[in-house]
A and B are shown apart, each in its own frame.
Chain A
C-alpha cells in the first residue's frame, strides 16, 4: 500500500509541482487549497503525511497543526517563506515535524518526505532501553554508553542527555526551546547560550570537523537536526 500525502498549499503552481514530484516517486497525493478543505480531506482521505503551507488564506497555520494534533500523530511538514523564522519555530513547537523554506527544490522536498515516510514504518512506541543507531554513531541507554565507529567515546552527563534526545528524534528538527526544556526543564527559560556551548562541546567529540558537522546540523534561527543519512 502506498503512502498517501496531503498537500495543503494555496498556490496552484506549487501544488501541482509538489504533487507531480511526489507522484513521480510513487506516493499517492491528495491536495487542498485552504485549511477548511485540508481538515475535511484528513477526515475523508485519511492521509499519512501532511505538507502544510503556513501562509493559508483562511486560517493560521499553527491553528491547523493544533487541530490536526488533537486526533492524529501524522508527520507534518511545514512550508514557509525565509523571513518567517518565528512562524516556523512556533509551528515546530506546536507539533510539526519538519520544515521547508520557499523556494525549495524537488530534491529537498523528497529528502524530507523520505524521512517522514521512514518514521511512519517504524513502530511508534519504541522500548525506552533499546539501542539507537545513526550511521556510525550508537548509543546504549541501558549502559549509558556511546560508540563512534565501534569505539567508545566519553561524554559528560549533559552531553549524553543531549545526544540521546537528538538520536531519539533523528531526522526531526528540534527547536532550541524544545531541547532546552528537555535538558534543563521548562522552568529554565530560553537560555540558548548554554545549549550552544554544550552543543559545541558535543560536536568536538562526535564530528570530524565541527565546522562541517555530519551528524547534528544547525538550522540557524530554528534549532538542530540529527541527520539520518
Chain B
C-alpha cells in the first residue's frame, strides 16, 4: 500500500516535471500563457488517471495553478503577479482542473469496481459450475477450498460434518499461493468447535489461528470453511462479500447433495419394504389356490367316511387345519395391503347394521353351532368406511370370541350411538374420540373365558397372543386382533377390550366416526 502511494507520488512529480519542461519550451517559443496552462491541465488529467483518487485531483489541481504561477506568470519565480487578470486565469484553471480530475477519477473508479465485480462473478460462477459436478461432500470441500484460496488469495480449508452433525476426522486445507496442493489436517478440539459454531453471534467464529464460517442447511451444520486469521483480517469489504457468496454456494451444494442422498436412501428403503410386502403377498396368493383344493377335498373325503369315525376325524382335522391356514393367509394379505403406503382406503358411507348383518351372516355360515344375537338401535346409523375392511374387523372379533368360548354359548353383537367411556382409557383413544357423541360403537360380547387383566393393554399388539385365552395350542399369531386395530385406526376410530362386568366373558368394541352433516333419512 505504502509502496503504491510512493510510486504514485513519484509518478505525479515526473508528470509535472515533464509538463513544466514542455511549458518552458512553449514559453521560449513565445506561445501564449493559455497554451502552457492547458499543458498543466493535461498533467492533472494524467496524474488522476494513475491513482483515480479524488484527493490526487484536488492536490494536483492546486499544484498545477501554483506551479504555473511560479514558473510562468510575471514576475516569474514568485507567487506574486503583476497583472490582476492572472487571477481570473488561475481561478478558471483551478476550477477546470478540479472538474476534469473529479470526472476522470469517477470514471476510473467505476471501471475498476466493474472489473472487480466481474472477477467476483466469474470466480463464483466457476465455483458453482465445478460444485455441480461434485459427487460427494469431500469433493465439494476440495473444490470450495481451492476456489476460495485462489479467488481471494488466502489459505482456506473446508471441514465436512456427517448426517448426525458430527465433524469428520480430517479436513482439506489449501495453503495460499500454491496451486492445488491440498493437505489433510485434523481439527483441534472438535466438541468445542461444534459448540462454538452452534452458538455464533456473528456469521463466523474468530479463533486465535483461524476464522471459521459454518455452512448451514436450515438449523443443521453441513460443514465449515476455515481461513487463516491473518488472511481473513486483511480482506477488504469487496473480498468479504465475495467470500460470503462462495460460502453460500458451497453450503447450497452440500445441502443439495445431502437432500438427494436422503431421498435416494428413503427410496431404497421404500423399495425394499415394497419388495418384502410383495413377496409375502405373492406367497400368500400362491398358498391360497392349493388350500381351496385341500379344504374342498378333505370335506368330500369326510362325507365319504361317515361310517369310519377314525378316518372321519382325520379328514375333519385336515379340513380344520387348512381353514385355519387359510384365515392366516387372508390376514397376512390384509395386513400387507394395509401397510402398503400407496393404499388409500376407499371410504363410502355405509349403513352400519348392514355391514354387521353381512359379517354375522358370513360367520354363521362357517359356525352354525353358535347363535349370534344382533342388537340394533332404532335409528339408522351411517358411517363412512371401507365396507370390506370393517366386515373383516367384525368377523375377526366374532371368530376370536368363538375361539375362546364353548360351542353353543351366547355371543352378541350390538350397535349403538356414541363411544363408551370404558373404551377411552388411553390418551390416544381420547384424542381419536374427541367427538365421541358422533361415533357408532360396534361391540362383540362373549361368554367365554375372558381376558387376563395384564394382557388387556397389549392385546391388539402384533403377534401378541395371550396364553390363557389360547385354546388351540401354539398356533394363534395374534394377527387377527392387530389387524382389527390397524383397520379401525385407519378409519380414525378407537378399539378396546375388557372383561364383562355382568358375567364371565370378554367384550371387544370399536367405535367409528359417524357420517358428518345431515343423513339422507
Q: Which residues of A contact B (CB under 8 A)?
A: 11, 13-14, 16-18, 20-21, 24, 81-83, 85, 102-109, 192-194, 196-197, 199-201, 209-213, 217-221
Report the minimal beta-carbon distance from A175 to chain B, rounded to whole angstroms. Answer: 14
Q: Which residues of B contact A16 (CB under 8 A)?
A: 293, 297
- Knowing A14-B292, A24-B300, A212-B374 touch, does A199 contact B360 (C-beta < 8 A)? no
A20 to B303, CA, bound (A): 12
- Excluding A211-B376, A218-B357, 5 further A-B contacts by CB distance (< 8 Å) are A82-B330, A103-B288, A193-B348, A196-B351, A212-B360
Number of interface residues of B (CB under 8 A): 48
Say whether B299 contacts A106, CB under 8 Å. yes
A177 to B288, CA, bound (A): 29
Say whether A81 contacts B285, CB under 8 Å. yes
Chain B residues 259-308 with CB under 8 Å of chain A are: 285, 288-297, 299-300, 303
Q: Which residues of A contact B290 (CB under 8 A)?
A: 11, 13
Report the minimal beta-carbon distance from A115 to chain B, rounded to whole angstroms. Answer: 15
A53 to B94, CA, bound (A): 109
Say whether A196 contacts B288, CB under 8 Å. no
Say whether B376 contacts A83, CB under 8 Å. no
A221 to B390, CA, bound (A): 11
Q: Which residues of B contact A102 (CB under 8 A)?
A: 288-289, 292
Report the minimal beta-carbon distance from B92 to chain A, rounded to whole angstroms. Answer: 96
Say whether B520 contacts A193, CB under 8 Å. yes
> Residue on A with the closest CB to B391?
A220
B413 CB within 8 Å of chain A: yes
Q: Which residues of A contact B376 (CB under 8 A)?
A: 209-211
B98 CB within 8 Å of chain A: no
Q: Which residues of B contact A (CB under 8 A)?
A: 285, 288-297, 299-300, 303, 322-323, 326, 330, 333, 337, 348-351, 353-361, 365, 372, 374-376, 380, 382, 387-388, 391, 413, 415, 519-521
- Knowing A196-B382, A220-B358 touch, does A13 contact B521 (C-beta < 8 A)? no
Name the residue in A13, A103, A199, A210 with the highest tally of chain B Cβ atoms < 10 Å from its Cβ. A103
Q: Which residues of B contact A218 (CB under 8 A)?
A: 354-355, 357-358, 361
A220 to B372, CA, bound (A): 19
Q: Which residues of B contact A221 (CB under 8 A)?
A: 387-388, 391
- Knowing A11-B292, A14-B296, A196-B382 touch, does A220 contact B355 (C-beta < 8 A)? yes
Q: Which residues of A contact B354 (CB under 8 A)?
A: 196, 199-200, 218, 220
Name the residue in B296, B333, B359 with the highest tally of chain A Cβ atoms < 10 Å from its Cβ. B296
Report the minimal beta-carbon distance from A184 to chain B, rounded to whole angstroms. Answer: 13
Q: Which residues of A contact B359 (CB under 8 A)?
A: 220
Say whether B413 contacts A211, CB under 8 Å. yes
A213 to B358, CA, bound (A): 9
Report the minimal beta-carbon distance from A40 to chain B, rounded to whole angstroms. Answer: 24
- Knowing A83-B333, A105-B295 touch, does A194 contact B520 (C-beta < 8 A)? yes
Name the residue in A109, A210, A213, A218 with the highest tally of chain B Cβ atoms < 10 Å from its Cβ. A218
Say whether A105 contacts B299, CB under 8 Å. yes
Report the minimal beta-carbon distance from A112 to chain B, rounded to whole angstroms. Answer: 12
A209 to B294, CA, bound (A): 36
CB-contact partner of A193 in B289, B349, B387, B413, under 8 A:
B349
Q: Which residues of A contact B355 (CB under 8 A)?
A: 218, 220
Cross-chain pairs A/B with CB under 8 angstroms, 16 sampled:
A13-B290, A18-B296, A21-B296, A103-B288, A103-B291, A103-B292, A106-B300, A192-B348, A197-B519, A200-B353, A200-B380, A209-B374, A211-B356, A213-B361, A217-B357, A219-B358
> Residue on A with the closest CB to B365?
A108
Q: Which residues of B contact A107 (CB under 8 A)?
A: 299
Q: Which residues of B contact A83 (CB under 8 A)?
A: 333, 337
Q: Which residues of B contact A194 (CB under 8 A)?
A: 520
- Knowing A103-B288, A197-B351 touch, does A13 contact B297 (C-beta < 8 A)? yes
A16 to B520, CA, bound (A): 50
Say whether B293 contacts A13, CB under 8 Å. yes
> Residue on B with the closest CB to A196?
B351
Q: Which residues of A contact B285 (CB under 8 A)?
A: 81
8 smallest CB-CB distances across A and B, nearest first, come from A13-B293, A211-B374, A103-B292, A17-B296, A218-B358, A220-B358, A196-B351, A102-B292
Q: Which residues of A contact B372 (CB under 8 A)?
A: 212
Report the minimal beta-carbon distance from B231 to chain A, rounded to whole angstroms. Answer: 69
Say whether B360 contacts A105, CB under 8 Å. no
CB-contact partner of B382 in A109, A193, A209, A219, under 8 A:
A193
Q: Which residues of A contact B326 (CB under 8 A)?
A: 103
Q: Which residues of B contact A197 (CB under 8 A)?
A: 351, 380, 382, 519-521
> Residue on B with the closest CB to A219?
B358
Report the minimal beta-carbon distance from A122 to chain B, rounded to whole angstroms. Answer: 26
